[in-house]
Amino acid sequence: MQQKLRFLALALTQRLSSALGSAQASCVQYRLIVRDVTTLQLLQLYTCLDQIQYIEWSSDSLFILCAMYKRGIVQVWSLEQPDWHCKIDEGSAGLVASCWSPDGRHILNTTEFHLRITVWSLCTKSVSYIKYPKACQQGIAFTKDGRYMAVAERRDCKDFVSLFVCSDWQLLRHFDTETQDLFGIEWAPNGCVLAVWDTCLEYKILLYSLDGRLLSTYRAYEWSLGIKSIAWSPSSQFLAIGSYDEKVRILNHVTWKKIAEFEHPAMVADTKTVVYKEVEKPPSVETERLSFPPTRALASSLFSTQSKYDISQVPVSFQYIKPVADRANPKMGIGMLAFSSDNCFLATKNDNIPNAVWIWDIQKLKLSVVLEQLCAIQSFQWDPRQPRLAVCTGNSKVYLWSPAGCVSVQVPMEGEFQIVSLCWHPTGDSMALLSKENFCMCYLEREEVK
């Protein structure tokens, strides 16, 4: 980890959208602020009609849409032409969700109660409607190359999937799925296989080919709570399925059969696993420099505890939490799954052991590293370019892990800064750390290899 981290902090932000290129957008209340990524200098400032709930960049980074659900309005701003404006009003239909199409010229609005999805075009005057969309978490999925769109539908108490060609919104395929209650759909990165999985009451995942044929069905067990999260590997070779029984099952793309089963027990005994445990370091105070009244920096450094990683000796047991049995959507099972961009690692989080991140080596199909944090994991994300994982746990530290080691970095902010989510820049040179109200840009400087 021979990299320097530069931090630039900003105040009072609500939403952040990562930029594809050099600009970064964030919104505060009803204002949209566009900045330069490297310097965070203000580039543009737009004002919307209402409090913005959602912002999204178009695929070519020329437009930003701002959705205001309460008002049912979507406003689109152009980066090239600040004068250009566009407003889409759903009126009494209401607005629940809004997103760009992959070509960057169409906006898909999902009306209230999931009555329909309206496809607004910015180039033509045409409007398309998709009826009976499914009211589920991931009802719309675009292929990576942006050619096809899969929409989950429900008619007559049955689930269907419609495949559209994004260029002209032609319905390509329409087929029913053998699911009780479709929970989500996701394309494989190669754009040829669509994963469709059922509600958590039923462990069932279906794999459909691009032309609508059912390739395979996988059921691990019956009756117990089923799939909680899934993730495709970037090469489309593997499909990782995290379920409520605290296990991750890996399916391979050739036979669509399970090739590995990863368990997340409360005790890790394998001697080849490295367990990094975050321990608090007592703050080092140089008594000479103490002055009265204490400066802000000093105060913050005194009160913010430093932490470092220690390697725990195997066997290690983790803090295991058994959730309350009579609540719905219990905090158990594998809640987060992510493959690294080079296909070598899989990071998982078992909600029963909320303080640990489990990193699995996919080449060997076994557990490689466990990061044990002091607080519960909020989110983690892999670097888009390297096998580097950034983790945040709700305190003002960001944790980075790579096969070389892991490091805990204190974000130098005045006051409280509880990082709840983070987002990498597509180049992997910087990442945005978000708290509830602020965000912070973290720049990772590459050291020249001599």
Partner 1 sequence: MGDWKTVTVPVLSSDSKNIFQYTSEKKISPPSMNSQVLRLPLPSSKSMHSFFSAFCTEENIEQSISYLNRELTTLGFPSIYVEPKGKELNLISIINCMNELLVQQHKNLRAQEEVEMQHLKLGSDMDHLQNSYAKLKEQLELSKREIVGLQERDRQLQSKNRNLHQLLKNEKDEVQKLQNIISSRATQYNHDMKRKEREYNKLKERLHQLVMNKKDKKIAMEVLNYVGRADGKRGAWRTDKTEARNEEEMYKVLLSDYEQRQKQLLVENAELKKVLQQMKKEIISLLPPQKQKPKERSEDGPVLSDLEEDIGELNKENMWELSCETVREQLTNSIRKQWRMLKNHVEKLDNQVSRVHSRALDDKDVISREDHELKTEKLELEIQQCKEMIKTQQQLLQQQLMSPCDDDTTLLLQDCYLLEERERLQEEWRLFREQKKNFEKERRSFTEAAIRLGLERKAFEEDRGAWLKQQFLSMSTDYKHSENVTTPSAFLGSSDQDSRLTNSTSQQRKPHCTLSGPVSAEPGQMSQYISCNSSNAASKKPAGDGKPNQWEESDEGEVE
Which of 222/286 has CB closer to partner 1? Answer: 222
Of residues 83, 286, 288, 448, which one binds partner 1 by CB under 8 A? 83
Q: For residues 87 and 446, which CB has a smaller minimum distance to partner 1 in the complex?
A: 87
Residue 31: name the closest of 75, 86, 89 by CA. 75
Stretch that binds partner 1, among 187-195, 391-399, 408-416, 438-446 (CB under 8 A): 187-195
Closer by beta carbon to partner 1, 78 or else 343: 78
Please say which residue, 28 or 215, places its beta carbon nearer to partner 1: 215
* Distance from C-alpha of 63 to C-alpha of 385, rounded to nearest angstrom: 25
Instruction: Verify binding: residue 324, partner 1, rule CB under 8 A.
Output: no
Residue 325 binds partner 1 (CB under 8 A):
no
Query: Counting Cβ atoms within 10 Å, is residue 257 exposed (0-12), middle (13-18) or buried (19+)?
Result: exposed
CB of 130 to partner 1, least distance (A): 13
Interface region with partner 1, contact rule CB under 8 A, candidates 33-41, 42-50, 76-84, 318-326: 76-84
Q: Which stretch binds partner 1 (CB under 8 A): 123-131, 225-233, 266-274, 440-448?
A: 123-131
Comparing CB distances to partner 1, the nearer of 85 and 366 is 85
C-alpha angle 298-302-303 in degrees, rounded to nearest 5:
120
Would you say 128 or 138 has its CB closer to partner 1?
128
Residues 6+ apart with CB under 8 A from 266: 317, 318, 320, 352, 353
CA-to-CA distance for 291 and 288, rounded, in angstroms? 8
**Amino acid at residue number 234:** P
Rounded Cα distance, 140 and 241, in Å: 19
Applying CB under 8 A, does 301 fall inside the site for partner 1?
no
Q: Which residues pair with 423 in a beta bridge?
A: 432
- 193 near 209, Cβ under 8 Å? yes
In the set 11, 84, 405, 436, which binds partner 1 (CB under 8 A)?
A: 84
Structure tokens at 314: 């195997």
Q: What are phi and psi of 117, to 5 degrees?
A: -115, 125
Strand 170-176 vs strand 366-372: parallel, antiparallel, or unpaired? unpaired
Residues 201-260 that bind partner 1 (CB under 8 A): 201, 209-211, 223, 253-254
Please state the closest distance from residue 342 (CB atom) to partner 1, in A: 17
Q: How far is the CB of 89 from partner 1 (least distance, A)?
A: 5
Nearest alpha-carbon partner for 55 in 77, 71, 35, 39: 77
176 is a contact residue toward partner 1 (CB under 8 A): no
The verdict on 330 binding partner 1 (CB under 8 A) reads no
When binding is defined by CB under 8 A, the residue of 89, 178, 270, 416 that contacts partner 1 is: 89
Residues of span 141-160 touching partner 1 by CB under 8 A: 147-148, 154, 156-157
Which C-beta is closer to partner 1: that of 249 or that of 253? 253
Interaction of residue 113 with partner 1, rule CB under 8 A? yes
E runs forming strands in 177-318: 182-187, 193-198, 205-209, 214-218, 227-232, 238-243, 247-252, 258-263, 267-268, 274-281, 306-312, 316-317
Q: How far is the CB of 173 from partner 1 (least distance, A)?
A: 8
Q: Which long-range contacts (CB under 8 A, 24 or more apart) does 157-160 make?
A: 159/134, 160/132
> Is residue 116 involved in binding partner 1 (CB under 8 A)?
yes
What order of strands is seen across the sheet that includes strand 238-243?
Answer: 227-232, 238-243, 247-252, 258-263
**Beta carbons within 8 Å of 254's beta carbon, 6+ residues apart:** none
Q: Write the DSSP symbol of residue 449.
A: P
Q: Decide: is 59 part of the binding site for partner 1 (CB under 8 A).
A: yes
Q: Indicate whether 191 belongs to the interface with partner 1 (CB under 8 A).
A: yes
Which range binds partner 1 by CB under 8 A, 56-64, 257-265, 367-375, 420-428?
Answer: 56-64
Residue placing its CB nearer to partner 1 in the complex, 122 or 391: 122
Report whether 258 contacts 218 (CB < 8 A): yes
**Does 47 interact with partner 1 (rule: CB under 8 A)?**
no
The residues that touch partner 1, with contacts defined as CB under 8 A, are 59-60, 63, 76, 78, 83-93, 103-105, 113, 115-116, 120-127, 147-148, 154, 156-157, 165, 167-170, 172, 180-181, 190-192, 201, 209-211, 223, 253-254
